[in-house]
Amino acid sequence: MISRPEKKLAAWVLTPRGMTLANQVKQALPHTDLFASQNLLPGRSYTGFSSLAKALAPVWNRYDGHYFIMATGIVVRTIASLIRDKTKDPAVVCGDETGRFVISLVSGHIGGANELAGKLSSILGATPVITTATDVNQVSAIDIIARDQGLYIENKQAIKHVNMAFIKGEPLAVHDPFNLVSPHLPPPLMDNSSLFGAEKSGIWVDCTVRDLPEKVLVLRPKMLVAGMGCRRGVTRQELEAHLYQVFQDRGLSVHSLSKIVSVDLKADEPGLLELAQTLNLPIEFYTRDELDQVKTVPTPSSLVNKHIGVKSVCEAAAMLATGRTRLLIPKTAGRTVTLALAAIPFTS
């Protein structure tokens, strides 16, 4: 399971009784920020607002969850224009100002609204209201399993088919060579991707790209590290084009890329930094002394050694980042870019 940092919560209040509940939550969950109607008495413990909709919009994505202590109808109308994608939207829960109920409203699984509703109910002594089918049927939800294992969901429209198979107890074909989700799935499972069919759900957990039926859920483990070298002044577009071409040629998904690594001489290279930002990936840099410790690079370069004092950048960086002595893809060279791929080792 991938550990997650403490989540930030916003509590939204319209009445004094609601503020009492919000303060109770903040005491139990210090990462909570309070927002309250300006019609309440002034206070230093919260941010005041005159319009709920105008106050919410700028901070919607700054929080992992939002707890609205007010009528559900108000919340639905306020958040309607902000909801985009259940795999990306923050958790939304709402509850009455007497603290009797806490309702999971939006992003119950991946966003964590169901979990948040349960946590808030424990704090307040309230009744959690959960309506997602997997939860009420007490079966696993594949989107939660994927989230907890740090897997990227490539085709979220297939989530409903897999979860329905869980609910019905139907056999499910699974391709999971690294055993990342199989231990968490309900039986019966069939570890045989040849059983994938147009009318049956299934799960594919791998970095490799295949032409799969639409009901097969594709989950990408963040297992690939891209070592990259480049000429000074290379653009983000050039770097990106080479990276995507390599992934396409080798039948790999960019969604399995976990980070980019290079030599510290490139730490201020705008194109490289922009690429990491565009792909929403961390980027790390190694010193030349660190790279020089990697003695088994497949394609050392005398030219690179002449210019910066090491025999390899992309291959050595990828191997160093993963602890591997072999590369998944040795150095590929474009006009201004070099790239090598290594895989992070998984243990079952």
pLDDT in tens, 3-50: 445 689 999 999 999 999 999 999 999 999 999 998 886 666 889 999
The reported pTM is 0.78
Average of per-residue pLDDT values in the chain: 91
> Is 131's pLDDT higher than 60?
yes
Give pLDDT, residue 234. 95
CATH number of 224-343: 3.30.420.180
Confidence tier at 100 by pLDDT (50, 70, 90)? very high
For residue 20 the two structure tokens come to 């009492």
pLDDT tens-place string over residues 184-207: 988 776 666 677 877 788 999 999
List the chain domain ranges: 9-131, 142-221, 224-343
Q: What is the DSSP letter of 176?
A: -
Give pLDDT, residue 187. 77
For residue 15 the two structure tokens come to 């009445």
What is the average pLDDT across 60-77?
A: 96
Query: Angle at the Cα of 176 (from 150 to 212), degrees rounded to 5?
Result: 100
Give pLDDT, residue 199. 79
Same CATH topology for 9-131 and 224-343?
A: no
Rg (CA), the chain: 24
Give pLDDT, residue 348. 41
Give pLDDT, residue 133. 80
For residue 31 the two structure tokens come to 């990462």
What is the average pLDDT across 306-314?
A: 85
What is the average pLDDT across 132-139?
A: 80
Query: What is the domain class of 9-131 according to CATH?
Result: alpha beta
> Is 1's pLDDT higher than 70?
no
- Decide yes or no: CATH 2.40.10 for domain 142-221: no
Instruction: Please state, in angstroms and as integers, the Cα–Cα distance from residue 337 to each residue in 198, 215, 273, following that order.
Output: 40, 38, 14
Q: Mapped to the 3 state alphabet, what secondary structure does 208-232 carry?
A: ECCCCCCCEEEEEECCEEEEEEECC
Lowest mean pLDDT among 16-30, 85-99, 182-196, 213-227: 182-196
> Is 2's pLDDT higher than 70?
no
Q: pLDDT > 90: what percent of the chain? A: 74
